[in-house]
């Protein structure tokens, strides 16, 4: 293809984005658009799958049958989100095996938040309330993103995340209104998950390398800092409502801005976790690689069964 032809295609592509048209898998797209989507969507899928581990840790220790059923369902939802997102990413021409390989070898990232340990039952409340809460704020705009398969997957994901956020908040509310020991558990979980949840929304704008281009493609509608501020403004009144204290002495309502001012985020900690040196990075990858290896016989059996069925149908047809 000549340079001029590519320029024409790019102009048509940009005009489609401008008109808020969806880009579909077989449509022409710039190589950078394809690669950026593979990066973000596969990282998102990995985050869902790795995100099952910290909560999976508590399924057998949930305090009642009702709590166990709800947690089990939430973790299953996360597996589902991972699967829609891997399938949507495959439409861009990368295989699932390649994506898994990138995760297992540390080439692909997943969300920093899942490298923190879940020490008590209250962490199930804090994850639902804060982590799913931050995820919704980040993901609702993705329902309108320009790449069709990603946008459509996100509609269902967001509906389920809203439910997760509410069930997490309900766990926190019950603990906060319980015995002094239960309230302490809830406060301790909030203390440990607050700052990592703010970091989860990505580096500060001046250090974000992808925001500018992703905004042009409408892959991002708001910057990391804007989403972070939205999350804080939404969550502080919820903590007040249940009588818990946000662990930030500098948190203060700013009348002029109509938003909360907040204290400094420890960005060194964030980058350490992103680079693989968080409290649980090694454990998480070990669990994923182990699950992949141990599941080999299941994949082989499923393939052998599918092949047998296909042969049977072929023999019937001839």
Question: How far apart, in whole angstroms, are the C-alpha atoms of residue 246 and residue 132?
Answer: 17
258: left (phi over 0), alpha (psi -120 to 50) or beta: left
Which position among 57, 162, 182, 208 is part of the footprint of ligand BYC (CB under 6 A)?
A: 208
Residue 123 sits in the site that holds ligand BYC (CB under 6 A): no
How near is the Cβ of 280 to ligand BYC at its closest, in Å?
13
Residue 89 or 211 having the CB closest to ligand BYC: 211
Which position among 118, 165, 197, 211 is part of the footprint of ligand BYC (CB under 6 A)?
A: 211
Question: Residue 259: enclosing H or E segment and its boundaries?
Answer: strand 259-261
Residue 131 or 176 having the CB closest to ligand BYC: 131
How near is the Cβ of 40 to ligand BYC at its closest, in Å?
5
184 to 203: interface string for ligand BYC, x by CB under 6 A:
----------------x-xx
Which position among 209, 298, 317, 318 is part of the footprint of ligand BYC (CB under 6 A)?
A: 209
How many residues touch ligand BYC under the rule CB under 6 A: the total is: 27
| Alpha-carbon distances of 132 from 35, 203, 205, 315, rounded to whole Å | 27, 18, 22, 50
Residue 214 sits in the site that holds ligand BYC (CB under 6 A): yes
What does 170-235 look like in DSSP terms, one character per residue? HHHHHHHTS-HHHHHHHHHHHHHHHHHHHHHT-S-GGG-SSHHHHHHTTS-SS-HHHHHHHHHHHH
**How far, in whole angstroms, is CA 100 from its chain's centroid?**
16
Residue of 231, 298, 287 whose CA lies nearest to 110: 287
Which position among 88, 99, 122, 132 is part of the footprint of ligand BYC (CB under 6 A)?
A: 132
Residue 112 sits in the site that holds ligand BYC (CB under 6 A): yes
**Binding stretches for ligand BYC (CB under 6 A):** 39-40, 43-44, 47-48, 51, 78, 109, 111-112, 131-132, 135, 138-139, 200, 202-203, 208-211, 214, 220, 224, 274
């Amino acid at each position: 293809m000549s340079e001029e032809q590519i320029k024409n295609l790019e102009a048509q592509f940009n005009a489609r984005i401008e008109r808020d048209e969806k880009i579909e898998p077989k449509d022409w797209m710039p190589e950078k658009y394809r690669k950026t989507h593979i990066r973000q969507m596969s990282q998102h899928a990995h985050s869902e799958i790795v995100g099952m581990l910290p909560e999976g840790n508590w399924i057998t220790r949930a305090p009642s049958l009702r709590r166990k059923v709800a947690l089990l369902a939430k973790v299953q939802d996360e597996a589902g989100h991972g699967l829609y997102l891997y399938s949507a990413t495959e439409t861009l021409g990368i295989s699932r095996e390649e994506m898994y390989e990138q995760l297992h070898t540390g080439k692909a990232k997943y969300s920093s938040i899942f490298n923190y340990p879940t020490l008590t039952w209250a962490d199930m409340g804090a994850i639902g309330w804060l982590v799913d809460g931050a995820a919704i704020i980040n993901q609702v705009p993705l329902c309108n993103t320009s790449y069709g398969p990603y946008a459509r997957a996100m509609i269902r994901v967001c509906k389920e995340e809203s439910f997760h956020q509410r069930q997490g908040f309900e766990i926190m509310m019950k603990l906060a209104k319980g015995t002094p020991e239960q309230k302490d558990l809830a406060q301790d979980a909030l203390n440990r998950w607050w700052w990592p949840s703010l970091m989860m929304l990505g580096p500060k704008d001046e250090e974000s390398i992808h925001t500018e281009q992703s905004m042009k493609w409408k892959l991002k509608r708001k910057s990391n800092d804007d989403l972070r501020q939205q999350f804080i403004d939404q969550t502080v009144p919820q903590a007040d409502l249940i009588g818990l204290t946000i662990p930030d002495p500098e948190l203060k309502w700013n009348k002029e801005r109509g938003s909360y001012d907040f204290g400094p985020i420890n960005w060194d900690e964030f980058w350490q976790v992103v680079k693989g040196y968080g409290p649980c990075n090694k454990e998480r990858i070990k669990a994923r690689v182990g699950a992949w290896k141990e599941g080999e016989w299941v994949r082989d059996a499923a393939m052998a069964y599918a092949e047998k069925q296909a042969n049977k149908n072929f023999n019937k047809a001839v």
